[in-house]
Structure 1
């Protein structure tokens, strides 16, 4: 019986996939304790061949191959959930890395406290520097081994809604029929909301940076076509719907900030007309209005843009976006915008 089922959706990841898989094979918990499920979403590069290579070499590597591309990772994650046999589930993106002790630390933590979720901190990597990212929480208390226990209603205020630095009790997912939406972005946020609202205890390994999130320009999370920006905007009503389902509408502004940062970054990166950009900004404004205008992003540069949006100075917001777009070619200016 495997201790962990690790699920990785794969699409056109030949450049980084072996590195990601090898960082799982080298886990200190012992690779024999991990069921690795790789779901290829009809890649057009050598990703499928790489998966087949590992499937042939290891009995605990399962390859699933789609004959069509679904466009978003929710499909692959749901396929993995369907066949996962371990009591605990983890997820990874196909281009990131893991600290060698990630699986062991999260597994021991969730088992020792009989928690529903265990989470750790992460490191964002780009071509300037590594950025350690720690999360905020409400009402946590120390466990016997020095980790933070966040329980019951306080779980709704745990600020880390990424899935790949966590381990989940499969029972919570299965018993509540929780799945990823398959046709839109922000699927991880929506999934975490469902899990959090159906869980009673999360264990947080504060200051353990176990997951290395590489900010590759070519990855899906950085693909900033107008279609993807509109898709992210259109996922916001899904968030409102989940909050209504669990009588948590008062948290709309709290969760809206997770969309805000990504949307504002997309506004900087998207290649579109100024009139279309303004249309997107107005749609964001309307959603902020619905959320109560109480939202602030976690990064200063985003709050600069958002200040003008919430006050309906859309042209000034576009001007700042243009300046920040121009700054992307300058490491010096990017460092300045990091600090504001």
Structure 2
């Protein structure tokens, strides 16, 4: 089997049919790939919809498990997978029509550990045609490099749906998604890349990333918002361990380490933005900053640069880097902005 597509699903009845239809409209035989739907104890009709599709299509597999979050669901799907390559897909997104054949040929022809591609953000629910003229794609022209080189020279994406992974490769690394926390793919992605010896990106428009309200990363529900802040903080400290594993014995490693450091500080930046929009007590923040100082994640001296260089980033970074300015600014902002969360404690 050439491909295993893993869908972690929780209360996805509204989106699952569209996603599955897109996965079934591909240019490879059904026997060559499987769709593993991991139902994470959904409370709506997600499981029933999955079973309806399974009755119609032999290449659909269902894993029905107790709720454990996206990381646990993806790990469960990975354990069941039989394909040479793995693709993790979020069920509220979808795939362009007839693209997997070209993408798999690319990955197999170059014997890649990781194959990246193009994605498009959209609000359209019916955009199934790829933007790429597949007949004009130059597969041979895509250079194969190490994952460390890729990080060093590219503003890579944290999201795990942005690439295919060789199943044996990920199994041999011993890596898996953290469970019970958000930011699970933000942590796994650089860890995987730095172990990849053969990685390449094909300029093929494959993935439709749906901009949807109340998604996991945009929800303003108080309990979720507080947990997301906690999980971003956790990811910041996990990245300290990742950074310590990167040698500085050549220019590529140094550039890779610098970009990972930027990503770590981006977590702190966006955590402070979320704290600014919350109603968590301002005095709650200095303790967190002290922890970040110990691992050189704060002040944000490595944040603004090639990857984050907009005017808003630069202004807020200057404010956040001066604590005497940041706290009154947050108070002022909260007076103008309707807080996203309720005061706790």
Would you say same fold, with TM above 0.5? yes
Relative distance call for 1:288 and 1:263 in structure 2 (3 A) is farther
Q: C-alpha distance in 1, partners of 2:291/2:330?
A: 13
Q: 1:177 aligns with which of 174, 182, 196?
A: 174
Q: Which moved more, 1:303-312 or 1:142-151?
A: 142-151
1:295 paired to 2:307: no
TM-score by length of 1: 0.79
Matched-pair contact (CA < 8 Å) for 1:162–1:192: yes
Q: C-alpha distance in 2, partners of 1:82/1:306?
A: 42
Q: Secondary structure at the match of 1:290?
A: coil
Q: Which moved more, 1:35-44 or 1:271-280?
A: 271-280
Q: C-alpha distance in 2, partners of 1:230/1:40?
A: 25
Paired residues for 1:162-241 under 5 Å: 162-206=159-203, 208-224=204-220, 225-241=225-241
Gaps of 5+ in 2: 128-136, 248-252, 341-345
1:315 paired to 2:323: no
Relative distance call for 1:151 and 1:306 in structure 2 (3 A) is same
Q: C-alpha distance in 2, partners of 1:154/1:22?
A: 36
Matched-pair contact (CA < 8 Å) for 1:253–1:293: no
Q: C-alpha distance in 2, partners of 1:38/1:286?
A: 42
* Larger CA Rg, structure 1 vs 2: 2
Q: 1:104 aligns with which of 101, 108, 126?
A: 101
Q: C-alpha distance in 2, partners of 1:123/1:246?
A: 31
Aligned-pair distance for 1:60? 1.2
Paired residues for 1:1-340 under 5 Å: 2-67=1-66, 69-70=67-68, 72-126=69-123, 145-151=140-146, 153-157=148-152, 158=154, 159-206=156-203, 208-224=204-220, 225-247=225-247, 250-251=257-258, 252-260=260-268, 262-263=270-271, 266-267=274-275, 271-275=278-282, 278=285, 282=289, 286=293, 289-290=296-297, 293-296=301-304, 298=308, 300=310, 301-312=312-323, 313-315=325-327, 317-318=329-330, 322=334
Relative distance call for 1:188 and 1:112 in structure 2 (3 A) is same
Aligned-pair distance for 1:187? 0.9
Q: C-alpha distance in 2, partners of 1:276/1:32?
A: 58
Aligned-pair distance for 1:19? 0.9
TM-score by length of 2: 0.78
Aligned-pair distance for 1:203? 1.1
Relative distance call for 1:260 and 1:28 in structure 2 (3 A) is farther
Relative distance call for 1:59 and 1:236 in structure 2 (3 A) is same
Gaps of 5+ in 1: 131-141, 329-340
Q: Which moved more, 1:224-233 or 1:8-17?
A: 224-233
Q: Secondary structure at the match of 1:160?
A: coil
Q: Secondary structure at the match of 1:123?
A: strand
Q: C-alpha distance in 2, partners of 1:261/1:290?
A: 10
Aligned-pair distance for 1:33? 2.3
Q: C-alpha distance in 2, partners of 1:298/1:54?
A: 42
Matched-pair contact (CA < 8 Å) for 2:282–2:327: no
Runs of 4+ with >3 A deviation: 245-252, 260-268, 276-292, 319-326
Aligned-pair distance for 1:263? 3.3
Q: Which moved more, 1:149-158 or 1:98-107?
A: 149-158
Relative distance call for 1:307 and 1:323 in structure 2 (3 A) is farther
1:210-248 per-residue CA deviation (whole Å, 9 max, x = no partner) reads: 211112222212234112212221221112113324547
Q: Which moved more, 1:29-38 or 1:311-320?
A: 311-320
Q: What value does the CA root-mean-square deviation take over the aligned residues? A: 3.2
